[in-house]
Structure 1
Amino acid sequence: MSAADRRGSRPRGTGEEALRLKRVLESAEAYPFCHRYAYWPGPNSNTFAAWVLRKAGIRHALARRAIGRGYPC
């Protein structure tokens, strides 16, 4: 097992998911809060991650401790 595998950074998911993520990340300027940042309650980096996953159609709940995860966007 390589060091990357032990850290959990090994890419996962289907090819289709990867393509959807790529398209969303290439159009990150469409993020509605790209010029605004607030640690609490958001928008912040967790809000951005949730937005990217949602736009890519990937169901993934952020950790309960992820500040800003419930910020509406």
Structure 2
Amino acid sequence: MQLGGEGFAVGFLYTTVGLLLGVVTHVLVRVNNRSAQQVVMGVALVVSFWAVKKVVSLDNWKTGYGVHAFWPPRWR
């Protein structure tokens, strides 16, 4: 359960990622300048990656469980 400052931080980060996704999918496609599209897309990707990384690190700090990839035994 998220309470207080931690909940505010996680909610703010999720909202940021959602707003950036909305801007990229609905607003950015109407921009005619390809260079501007690429710059805004790059900034959106970097900020979104940073926000998700912060949420995962907050969850890891709170629960003590690390996030790791699952590799099926056949893939090794």
Q: Is the TM-score greater than 0.5? A: no
Which is richer in helix? 2
Larger Rg: 2
